[in-house]
Amino acid sequence: MTMVTGIIAAGGRGLRMGGDRPKQLLTLRGVTILQRSVTAFDRCDHVNEIVLVLPPDLAEPSVAATPDGTPLRVVPGGSRRQDSVACGFDAASSSSDIVVVHDAARPLCSPALITRTIEAALRHGAAIAAVPANDTLKQRVAGDGRFVGRTLARERIVMAQTPQAFRREVLAGAIALGRDGVSATDEAVLAERAGHRVALVEGDPRNIKITTASDLTIAEHLLGETMATGRVGFGYDLHRLVEGRPLVLGGVHIPHDRGLLGHSDADAVCHAVTDAILGAAAAGDIGRHFPDTDPRWEGASSMDLLRAVVGLVRSRGFAVVNLDVVIVAERPKVAPYVDRMREAVASAVGVLPAAVSIKGKTNEGVDATGRGEAIATHAVAMLTEM
């Protein structure tokens, strides 16, 4: 079996965008540019691991898993793009046969395009996605850019994109050349200078690079109108509090004299969020997918069930945009644990913690929740087409 590592280069700041945030954290239809690029590799069946290279101040080295279960390693990058790719290569599994390099600033890349470059690299050693030049191309006069020097034969010109895929040894040689002082705008240039032939595969005109604010507008247009395909789902869950059970809410163990009764770990936050996501995708409910009559789910982590449902709705073309959760509990007070819950839930659904709201309420002593006999949770999820 061929082992494939995807390196997503997101180590730059995108200064030409002119904003106060790195451009990879800007959103397209409610999903960050970075997240869209990661999702494309996550959904590609041929990719076995992802190495995400971020600016040093944003990268806390870690190893996790994506919503679809692909191992994800985060590493800090360098001052130049080629330095960041080298950092990603150093973190890649030594057993990788093929390494695919992709600019995070190309968020509309498809899994099919990634697959084409991988297959071509297997055959030829190195391959890049590229699209033909449709405009007449003029070369400026050297030293005086105001005048045309000559007209280039556009039928021989292509415009390079990412992903770019390489056999491991080919990319290793290219990166070594870069470390020896050779500068290049992409790894294919380094591979060429190292003496390797680089194959061309059909790119995608939609696979644009987000460099300026106008590019962001074009990408929004390509994705369609932002609000036209927003889908909202509502979820609700309630469990009785009993002795002898741990209390787990939003993936966080909370000290209490009683816990929630259920077939799984009875995490009412995760159950409500799961139902909200399924509802937005019109994909049934948690009981249909994880019935309490099935012994496989006895004592199961509800965070794992939530991740599975996120993978399901992604396979149907949806991504979670944001969540709003209300926990109704007389005791214990959940406020001290809210931030940890937000981080855990955000990680499970593949969004930033800023896209997850969790708040606690009491029932003012009314009914079972008000008497402290149960905990109820309400959740709203917004999904968007990917």
Query: Mean pLDDT for the chain?
Result: 90
Q: What percent of the chain has pLDDT over 90?
A: 65
Tell me: pLDDT of 12 over 70.
yes
Choose between 67 and 156: higher pLDDT: 156
**pLDDT the model gives residue 292:** 86
Question: Is the same domain home to 235 and 218?
Answer: no
Q: How many CB atoms lie within 10 A of CB 194?
A: 18
Domain containing residue 176: CATH number: 3.90.550.10
Which tens digit of pLDDT belongs to each residue from 220-235? 888 764 444 578 999 9
Residues 209 and 246 in one domain: no
Q: Are residues 15 and 152 in the same domain?
A: yes
**Which range, of 17-31, 203-217, 307-321, averages the lowest pLDDT?**
17-31
Boundary (domain end) residue, out of 164, 194, 223: 223
Half-sphere exposure of 71 (CA within 13 A, CB side): 11
Assess whether 208 and 241 both reside in one domain.
no
Of the three residues 206, 223, 240, the one that is the final residue of a domain is 223
pLDDT at 83: 93
Query: Could you tell me if 193 and 250 lie in one domain?
Result: no
Domain count, the chain: 2
Domain match, 81 and 119 both:
yes
Same domain assignment for residues 195 and 241: no
My answer on whether 209 and 261 are in the same domain is no
Query: Are residue 202 and residue 287 in the same domain, yes or no?
Result: no
> Among 223, 253, 271, which residue terminates a domain?
223
Cα–Cα–Cα angle for 18, 22, 26, nearest 5°? 90
Count CB atoms within 10 A of the CB of residue 13: 13
The boundaries of the domain holding residue 117 are 4-223
Q: Are residues 31 and 69 in the same domain?
A: yes
Higher pLDDT among residues 216 and 240, named by residue: 240
Write the pLDDT tens digit of every residue in 260-275: 999 999 999 999 999 9
* 378 in the same domain as 261: yes
Q: What CATH number is given to the structural domain containing 242?
A: 3.30.1330.50
pLDDT at 19 over 50: yes
Pick 281 or 69 by higher pLDDT.
281
pLDDT in tens, 61-79: 667 767 667 899 999 988 8
